[in-house]
């Protein structure tokens, strides 16, 4: 279970402090599928980075399975079963897809097991298993390989920061299919930072962050109609219809 207690985060801008997040409290159960959305600049990605340990909160606590992890490093959090997928996946020159899956799993994988992870994200294993992680792979392919890596790690909490960024429409539809399968076969908690309607539609719970504060929090059925109404009426949440 992830618990955020009164999290605030400030950055220094010249001689002034700029508040990015203010008094954010959040609790997720196990095996939940949460989408965090809201206008650009509202603090969504910052919150994801705070959970992973990329940034440290100015105040407040972060608890994971009852343990205070506020001051733990990214590596220490990863060892506790927390995974993070960046907006732009990192390209590892010289490594093959199989190498990356084995690094994620922490063990040597037989071909059938490695291929099963790729199949789960909709990739034909024989076309990818021995491919190098270089410029020959598209952004959509890298996104799905990164998700396969998360599956191999078997993380208890997986965070995706705007997974739709930088991919074409065809790859986006494939990505949605992957997330739909993840939701149906959730092994732990999944948190996705996104403003895409298709991703919001598969959430169990939607959290809206605006101006560094939690504006709304509830089930998909409670929150999504209001978001879509806002998007149609004044386009307050840009991209929600994309």
pLDDT digits (tens, 9 = 90+) for 174-199: 778 878 877 776 568 899 999 889 89
88 against 221, higher pLDDT: 221
For helices 97-105 and 139-153, the axis angle rounded to 10 degrees is 30
Tell me: pLDDT of 125 over 80: no
The answer on pLDDT for 89 being more than 60 is no
How many other C-beta atoms lie within 10 A of the C-beta of residue 60?
17
Whether 132 contacts 93, CB under 8 Å:
yes
C-alpha to C-alpha distance for 188 and 183, rounded to whole angstroms: 10
Grouping H, G, I as helix, E, B as strand and the rest as coil, residue 66 is coil
* Both tokens assigned to 124: 């034909």
Task: Find, among 204, 193, 121, the residue nearest to 163 by Cα.
Answer: 193
Question: What per-residue confidence (pLDDT) applies to 172?
Answer: 80
Does 85 or 203 have the greater pLDDT score? 203
Q: What percent of the chain has pLDDT over 90?
A: 38
Query: Can you tell me whether residue 98 is helix, strand or coil?
Result: helix
Examine the pLDDT at 135 and tell me if it is beyond 70: no
Out of 15-19, 91-95, 159-163, 224-228, pick the least confident.
91-95
pLDDT band at 236 (very low <50, low <70, confident <90, very high): very low
Structure confidence at residue 187 (pLDDT):
67
Helix, strand, coil proportions of the chain in percent (round to 5)?
A: 35, 30, 35
Contact 200, 228 (CB under 8 A): no
Task: Please give the pLDDT value at position 130.
Answer: 85
Is residue 32 scored above 90 in pLDDT? no
Give the pLDDT confidence score for residue 94 in this predicted structure. 77
User: Which are the contacts of 63, defined by CB distance < 8 A and separation ≥ 6?
Assistant: 1, 2, 3, 4, 5, 69
């Amino acid at each position: 279970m992830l618990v955020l207690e009164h999290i605030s985060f400030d950055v220094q801008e010249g001689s002034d402090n700029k508040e990015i997040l203010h008094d954010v409290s959040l609790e997720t159960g196990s095996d939940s599928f949460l989408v965090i959305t809201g206008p650009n600049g509202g603090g969504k990605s910052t919150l994801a980075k705070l959970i992973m340990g990329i940034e440290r909160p100015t105040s407040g606590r972060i608890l994971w399975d009852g343990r205070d992890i506020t001051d733990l490093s990214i590596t220490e959090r990863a060892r506790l079963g927390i995974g993070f997928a960046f907006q732009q996946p990192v390209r590892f020159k010289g490594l093959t897809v199989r190498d990356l899956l084995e690094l994620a799993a922490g063990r040597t994988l037989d071909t059938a097991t490695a291929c099963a992870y790729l199949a789960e994200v909709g990739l034909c294993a024989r076309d990818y298993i021995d491919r190098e992680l270089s410029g020959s792979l598209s952004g959509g392919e890298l996104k799905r390989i990164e998700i396969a890596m998360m599956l191999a790690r078997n993380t208890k909490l997986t965070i995706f920061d705007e997974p739709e960024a930088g991919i074409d429409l065809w790859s986006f539809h494939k990505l949605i299919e992957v997330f739909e399968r993840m939701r149906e076969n959730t092994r732990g908690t999944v948190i996705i930072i996104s403003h895409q309607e298709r991703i919001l539609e598969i959430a169990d719970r939607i959290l809206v962050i605006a101006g560094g504060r939690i504006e709304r929090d509830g089930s998909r059925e409670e929150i999504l109609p209001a978001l879509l109404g806002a998007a149609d009426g004044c386009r307050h949440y840009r991209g929600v219809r994309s």
